[in-house]
Amino acid sequence: MKEPLLRLGFALTASIAAVAATAAQQTVPNADFVVARPVVNMYHNASAMSDVVSQALYGTGVLTLSRDGDFYNIRTADDYTGWVKAADLRPLNGKTYAGEGQAVHVTSLSANVYREPDTTTHAPLLNLPWESRLELVDGKIDATKRWLQVRLVSGDLAWIQQGDVSAQTKVLSIDAMLQLARRFIGVTYTWGGVSSFGYDCSGFMQMLERQRGIEMPRDASVQAKWSGGVPVDRKDLEPGDLLYFGSRPEHITHTGMYLGNGEFINDTPRGHPGVQIDRLDDMPWTQLFVTARRVKP
């Protein structure tokens, strides 16, 4: 099951500064369009009335496969496909957006982009989620300055506070990944979600593994059989192991990550929907538990 963060309007705090330079959603090779809105729904069919299968984030390049009316069928960097509204994309016309040496990615759970380097004169132009990509105007960061000038997908120039972004990518240890995971507690559950404005269960797990430099499949049922993980007995669970739940091995509907001491973090629609910590021995989890996987380093 794909499963979600209330729109938290605050940056990562100093307590997590050591892991702020994390990975971001990537641009697909040979991208011909770039995502032009903070979060774009990817639909199963070329209709907004169709079910959402995933999402794509601002500034990430995607590859268009076909067009049907006002919709494009796209492929994202994790090899996932879905239909998006044509108005939510901008053509690259042979160019790149936020390419090598020009990109910063959002490291706050929510970051505002302004028309000038000031937070009070005008309302934000954009509010972007974690992992969104932006293009630096001069390709450099002056660490002594509070603001960075960026070029939006539209071509317009704008400003973002340096504390909300990073140009670096740091591969996290398991301990650092679990510390990061706790920052998302309270993020609301959104079916098909892959952003800090709302994850689903497998989108949340995929994002966490990306911080370790590992690109894992999108859906829980596929993750549970993925060759990048090895089976783990319940009695041998270690922090960072992935847990999979369902009615049977052929019907996996949920996933979470083991924290230790019988607890796991997951994004679930049950009870109070959102990222939360549950106990594996509690109902319904102990009854629904099917298998655990340890991702290969």
* CATH value at residue 61: 2.30.30.40
Question: 71 lies in which domain range?
Answer: 33-91
Q: Given this model, what pLDDT does residue 22 score?
A: 67
HEC string for 127-149? EEECCCEEEECCCCCCCCCCEEE
How many structural domains are present in the chain? Answer: 3
Q: Is residue 19 part of a domain?
A: no
For residues 272-281, average pLDDT: 96
Are both 159 and 178 inside the same structural domain?
no
Q: Is residue 3 part of a domain?
A: no
The string of pLDDT tens digits covering residues 237-264 is 999 999 999 999 999 999 999 999 999 9
The domain boundary, picked from 137, 166, 195, lies at 166
Look at residues 61, 91, 121 and tell me which one is the last residue of a structural domain: 91
Alpha-carbon distance of 223 to 219, in angstroms, equals: 6
Domain boundary at 73, 91, 109, which?
A: 91
Confidence of residue 33 (pLDDT cuts 50, 70, 90): very high
The model's pLDDT over 165-222, given as tens digits with 9 standing for 90+, comes to 999 888 999 999 999 999 999 999 999 999 999 999 999 999 999 999 999 999 999 9
Q: What is the CATH number of the domain that holds 200?
A: 3.90.1720.10
Sheet strand arrangement including 33-35: 52-57, 39-43, 81-85, 71-75, 61-68, 33-35, 89-91
The tens digit of pLDDT for each residue in 80-107 reads 999 999 999 999 999 999 998 899 999 9
Question: Are 187 and 162 found together in one domain?
Answer: no
In this structure, the answer to whether residues 45 and 67 fall within a common structural domain is yes
